[in-house]
């Protein structure tokens, strides 16, 4: 009696739920819009089945249509699920403790962020006890091109992905210091990749300076960023860089909590 090939059977005839999960995983892993034909081919599904799954996932918000309406991207419901997974439970508490201890050490507000599409998502933050500080709530998004964390994410992307992203970003001038030239932003990213850290020199908000470092996963992929920010009246770029070893040590601790 021949043993059934379970993996082949599951791939081709799995349940609707299993197919939906594989479709969501494919979209999330790809990091770009995919067409119905792409999804059907990648997952070895009949186009009719892929169309039905996409219709169901569109209705529930787990996927969304891209600018080209024939293409699909991850939707708000999936982003919320990812966010809830990352920000709740014991691990979230341990990460928050790392931030709390870092704030005590460096004396300024620190935040923990991740890449969400073409923006930076705040996963956690701990405020320093100063009367003047910027308040950005957990769950808020900030731009890539003018924030320390955002530039850090772009700097460590594969070159083709970075170039494509920068070519499509709207490089809005948030302050007089914001980089709005695509060529200059590419040069900035190359410098950041060599240095291993990123500075926001009042590029996002006038009077605010930030320093960010990467948080790597076990496969050497940047999954998050750790940053400190403060008004320039309290923290110069040189003073921020004196805190770099503390940020890097905390980032190593956070990498074990991803």
The pLDDT, as a whole number, for residue 137 is 64
Q: Give residue-wise pLDDT tens across range 130-141.
A: 776 566 666 788
Mean pLDDT comparison of 38-42, 93-97, 195-199, 233-237, highest-scoring range:
195-199
- Across residues 84-96, what is the average pLDDT? 77
Helix (H) or strand (E) run with residue 143 in it = strand 141-143
pLDDT band at 86 (very low <50, low <70, confident <90, very high): low
pLDDT of residue 9: 36
**HSE (CB half, 13 Å, CA atoms) of 87?**
18
Pick the most confident of 19-23, 161-165, 201-205, 216-220: 201-205
Mean pLDDT score, 72-95:
80
Burial environment of residue 67 by CB neighbours within 10 A (0 to 12, 13 to 18, 19 or more): exposed
Which 3-state string (H, E, C) describes 175-239? CCCCCCCHHHHHHHHHHHHHHCCEEEECCCCCCEEEEEEEEECCCCCEEEEEEEEEECCCCCHHH
Q: What percentage of the chain exceeds 70 in pLDDT?
A: 89
Domain contains 28: yes
Same-domain status, 116 and 184 = yes
Type and span of the H or E element at 125? strand 119-126
CATH of the domain at 179: 3.30.450.40
Asked if residue 83 belongs to a domain, the reply is no
Q: How far apart are CA 226 and CA 246, in angstroms?
A: 11
pLDDT class for 118, splitting at 50, 70, 90? confident
Domain interval for residue 182:
88-255
Q: Is the same domain home to 71 and 112?
A: no
For residue 82, being part of any structural domain is answered with no
What pLDDT, on a 0 to 100 scale, did the predictor assign at position 250? Answer: 98
Over range 97-109, report the average pLDDT.
96
**Cβ atoms 243, 95 nearer than 8 A:** no
In the predicted model, what is the mean pLDDT of residues 99-120?
A: 93
Please count the structural domains in the chain.
2
Q: Please check whether residues 69 and 108 belong to one and the same domain.
A: no
């Amino acid at each position: 009696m021949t043993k059934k090939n379970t993996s082949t059977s599951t791939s081709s005839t799995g349940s609707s739920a299993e197919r939906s999960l594989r479709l969501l995983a494919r979209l999330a892993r790809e990091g770009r819009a995919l067409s119905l034909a792409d999804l059907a081919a990648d997952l070895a599904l009949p186009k009719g089945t892929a169309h039905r799954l996409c219709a169901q996932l569109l209705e529930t918000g787990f996927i969304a249509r891209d600018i080209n309406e024939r293409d699909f991207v991850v939707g708000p419901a999936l982003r919320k699920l990812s966010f809830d997974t990352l920000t709740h439970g014991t691990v979230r508490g341990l990460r928050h403790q790392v931030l709390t201890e870092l704030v005590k050490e460096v004396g300024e507000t620190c935040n923990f962020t991740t890449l969400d599409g073409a923006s930076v998502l705040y996963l956690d933050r701990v405020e320093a006890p100063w009367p003047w500080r910027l308040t950005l709530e957990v769950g808020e998004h900030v731009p890539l091109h003018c924030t320390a964390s955002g530039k850090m994410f772009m700097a460590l992307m594969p070159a083709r992905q970075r170039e494509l992203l920068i070519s499509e970003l709207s490089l809005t001038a948030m302050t007089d210091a914001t980089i709005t030239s695509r060529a200059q932003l590419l040069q900035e990213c190359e410098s950041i990749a060599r240095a291993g850290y990123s500075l926001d020199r009042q590029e996002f908000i006038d009077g605010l300076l930030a320093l960010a470092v990467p948080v790597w996963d076990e496969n050497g992929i940047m999954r998050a960023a750790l940053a400190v920010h403060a008004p320039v009246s309290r923290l110069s770029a040189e003073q921020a860089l004196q805190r770099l070893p503390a940020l890097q040590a905390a980032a190593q601790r956070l990498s074990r909590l991803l």
